[in-house]
Amino acid sequence: MGHGGNVIEELTADHREVEDMFGRIQAMAGAGQALRDLVDEVTIELVRHSVAEEQYLYPAVREYVAGGDRLADKEIEDHARVEELLKELEKTRTDDPGMDMMLQQLMDEVTAHVQDEEANLFPMLRQACTAEQLDDLGDRIRRAKAMAPTRPHPAAPSSPTASKILAPGAGLVDRARDFVTGRGRS
């Protein structure tokens, strides 16, 4: 959940973690509980990552990066599409014929988002911010991920202020549900 380092190092480590999970999904043969567990693991990581980015990364991009509003809006739109997919995957049985197609769409969307962030947004942020600002953002991202929801909530407000108020409560409920059901323990 928390890797350490500045915001770019933290989020890049998250990206590698999700890419590893995608590789494990692609290597899996068939459906079943192992696939459900891995899809849940990916969902937990992506939701926490997205919430933290929306709370802290994108406001920093808006503030420090030239053209930051446009960049942040695009990234938030990417998140909305991914969150809708995650919600659909959450409701879909692993033996459903549409599961493979939805998983491929998720992997394609997330991979494109990651490539865009790493090739464009992160270098611009590194150029625009001091090392101290990047370190502070890394700390904020880690704290936000620890409190973030673990399930997709596509109807939740995406504004940073609303998210900072609502996400910890939703996160607490999600983690309680996860504890009771055993979700995310694999």
User: Would you tell me the crossing angle of helices 33-52 and 99-116 to the nearest 10 degrees?
Assistant: 30
Whether residue 51 contacts residue 86, with contact meaning beta carbons closer than 8 Å, is answered with no
The CATH number of 7-181 is 1.20.120
Contacts of 60 by beta carbon, 8 Å cutoff, 6+ apart:
7, 125, 129, 133, 137
Token couple for 173:
């409920």
Task: Kindly list the domain boundaries of the chain, sorted by start residue.
Answer: 7-181
pLDDT for 16 equals 97
Global confidence as pTM: 0.89
Q: Is 53 exposed, middle or buried (0-12, 13-18, 19+ CB in 10 A)?
A: buried
Whether residue 183 contacts residue 40, with contact meaning beta carbons closer than 8 Å, is answered with yes
pLDDT for 4 equals 75
Residue 146 identity: A
Whether residue 185 contacts residue 116, with contact meaning beta carbons closer than 8 Å, is answered with no
Mean pLDDT of successive 10-residue stretches along the chain, which has 186 residues = 82 96 89 89 94 94 96 93 93 91 96 96 97 96 89 68 59 62 68
Encode the chain in three state secondary structure.
Answer: CCCCCCHHHHHHHHHHHHHHHHHHHHHCCCCCHHHHHHHHHHHHHHHHHHHHHHHHHHHHHHHHCCCHHHHHHHHHHHHHHHHHHHHHHHHCCCCCCCHHHHHHHHHHHHHHHHHHHHHHHHHHHHHHCCHHHHHHHHHHHHHHHHHCCCCCCCCCCCCHHHHHHHHHHHHHHHHHHHHHHCCCCC
**Residue with structure tokens 């996400």?**
167
